[in-house]
Each structure stands twice: as structure tokens, then as C-alpha cells.
Amino acid sequence: MARQEQGLRGKVVVVTGASSGIGRQVCVDLAARGCHVVCAARRARDLEATAALCRNAAPAGAGDLGPLVVPTDVSVEADVRALLDATLSRWGRVDVWVSCAGTTLFSPLADASFAEHRRVIETNLFGAMLSARAVVPLFRRQRRGILIDVGSVLSEIGQPFVPSYAISKFGVRGMAESLRVELADEPDIHVCTVYPYAVDTPHFQTGGNRVGRPARTMPPVQSPEKVSLAIVSLIERPRRELHVPRLAALGVALHRIFPLVTDKLLLHALREFHFGHAEEGGSAGNLFAPKAGEVGTVHGHRRPLIGTGAFFAWLVRELASIQVEAATQPRRRTASPSARTLSPQP
């Protein structure tokens, strides 16, 4: 580990979404390993708090490793260009760019305004695209660099209560795949995507919500620290994709093999455990601007409604119920294609 940290020392790393959650934790973990960290997000005050944490985490005798703070709205191309220019002005290069900025809207597709759904796409997908458009040409000139996009398990599986978030994360995955092909002749330029399962961040309390009940994370909950260490590992050893936890890849595979059953199981689980029972007024949350009174933190304060063990026991019971229901439903009788084709002509 010491040798790997020595290899990270002095790397210039841009992190978007650095004011809270995974982005803040990534900044702190990289600063602790001696990286030059560039903290970018909309909330200048919370970026300064992140920078203070980075300075405290930096190794003794690190020298000029102070973080750079650049207030940035990743959905605005001029802001992203200014972020790149500020980084180059200070250090003359970018070694790693981590696209971590993101927001969400808890609402079925038809229930919120389209402007709110569009804003999720603008931040999560267009923000990642604008970041890639800015930094990939620089990586080409440098002939090296690492782009890390934070996707989600919802980059591969749909979710009815955050459809615009899932759409944006599917798009992030598609962009990464396209860039890997584009850069196939550049062996020292890497495009990596990390796919976390539900993470304990302020995401669930600060996003827009038109469901009318407070959103809760679903077990098994991942800590921001665990996801951050996965991102650090991608800098140390770049890979195309990384699920957090790795077991989530098995869930994705099962969904591909048994889509009808897993769709129904997922819907039932979300209805039961994704939202608290208290009523909550609708809000656009932090979609268009930072939420009033919002203070950047790494962790959220909305715990799951059910523990991990009890949740998996519930899943087993619910799966059995779904299977019994399917077995007892009358099957519709349909003529086979061959029977229809070979039926006698009048």
C-alpha cells in the first residue's frame, strides 16, 4: 500500500461533485495520498470545507499540496472549461478527472415536470459529457490520463421512482463505452466507470421529490468511504468497470437472466422500503440551485427502513410468493406459429 500511495503522490486530480458525499470523500482520500486535488461543485462554502479537510489529511511534509477550489456547475460548458483552465494555470496538467457530480429526482416519469427530469439529465449526463469533452483532448495531447465516471447499479437496471436518474446513468455508461473505442489506440489513456449500489450520502434528502414521502436508501447500504477507496483503486490500477460491492454484478447478471421475475421483485421492494410513511411536501430539492440551508456532509441522515439481514429474508419470501403466484395463474392457450402456418385453407 505504501508503494501505491507513493505512486499517487503529486498527481493532479480534478473531482467534480466535491462539496459533499462521495466527491468530498474522494478529495480527502486523495489528499491523504499526496495528490494535488481540485475541488469542483456549485457550493463555494462547502468546497472550502472540503479543502480544509484535504489540508488536514495531507501527509506531513507534503509541501505545496494545497487543494484548489473552483466553484463549478458541470452542466454549464463555460464553467467546465474554466475549471480545466484553472487547473492548468496552477499545475500545467491533469492526470485524473473524476466525474462525481450528480443529483436525482424521486418521481415516476409522468408525475414531475419535464424541466425537473431534464435537469437530472443535464447534471448527471451532460455534466459528464462536458467534462469528457474538456479533458479528453488534453489527455490526447499528454498521451496519458485517467477519466473516471461515477455511474450506478442503475446504469444497468431500471428503477421506476428515479427514471431520469437511471436514464442519465445508462447514458454515462454508454458514453464511457464510446470513449473506450475512440481511445483504443491510446494505451495510456484510461476510461473507467464505477457502479455503486445505494450509498449513504445526502443524495436521498437533497434531491427533488414528487412522491410525497421521504426517500430512504435501500439495503445493503454502501459507505461513501468504500466507494471512494474503489475510485482510488482505479487510479492505482485502471480497469474498465468496477461494481461496489462486487456482488452487485451478480444481481445485474441475474436480472439479465430472469428479467420478468427480478423486475417484479424490485418493484415490490421499492414500494415497501424506498420511502418513509410520513407525508412530505413536494420539492425540486437541489436540482436547479443548492437547497436552502443545505450543508455539505459525506454521510446522509436517512437510514434504511429495514436491516440488511431482514431485507434479504424478505426478498426470499417475496420471491417465493411471486413464483407461487406465477404458477397458479391460468396460462393463456395460443396456437403455435407452425400450427397457424399449416392450418388448412378454406
Express each pLDDT in 230-278 by its tens digit: 999 999 999 999 999 998 999 999 999 999 999 999 999 999 999 999 9
The structure's pTM equals: 0.91
Write the pLDDT tens digit of every residue in 8-50.
999 999 999 999 999 999 999 999 999 999 999 999 999 999 9
Whether residue 61 is predicted with pLDDT greater than 90 in this model: the reply is: no
In this prediction, residue 1 carries a pLDDT of 43
Whether residue 2 is predicted with pLDDT greater than 70 in this model: the reply is: no
In this prediction, residue 331 carries a pLDDT of 62
The answer to whether the beta carbons of residues 83 and 14 sit under 8 Å apart is yes
Whether residue 63 is predicted with pLDDT greater than 80 in this model: the reply is: no
Which of the two residues, 329 and 56, has the higher pLDDT score? 56
pLDDT bin (cut points 50, 70, 90) of residue 329 is confident
Burial of 154-171, coded b for 16+ CB within 10 Å and e otherwise, reads bbbbebebbbbbbbbbbb
Least confident of 13-22, 123-132, 336-345: 336-345
The answer to whether the beta carbons of residues 11 and 4 sit under 8 Å apart is no
| Residues that are catalytic | 165
pLDDT bin (cut points 50, 70, 90) of residue 328 is confident
Average pLDDT, the chain: 92
Nearest to 262 by CA among 162, 151, 111, 156: 156
Summarize the confidence of residues 99-118 as an average pLDDT: 97
Burial of 98-116, coded b for 16+ CB within 10 Å and e otherwise, reads bbbbbbbbbbeeebbeeeb
In this prediction, residue 345 carries a pLDDT of 37
Whether residue 189 is predicted with pLDDT greater than 80 in this model: the reply is: yes
Which of the two residues, 1 and 319, has the higher pLDDT score? 319
pLDDT bin (cut points 50, 70, 90) of residue 213 is very high
Whether residue 197 is predicted with pLDDT greater than 60 in this model: the reply is: yes
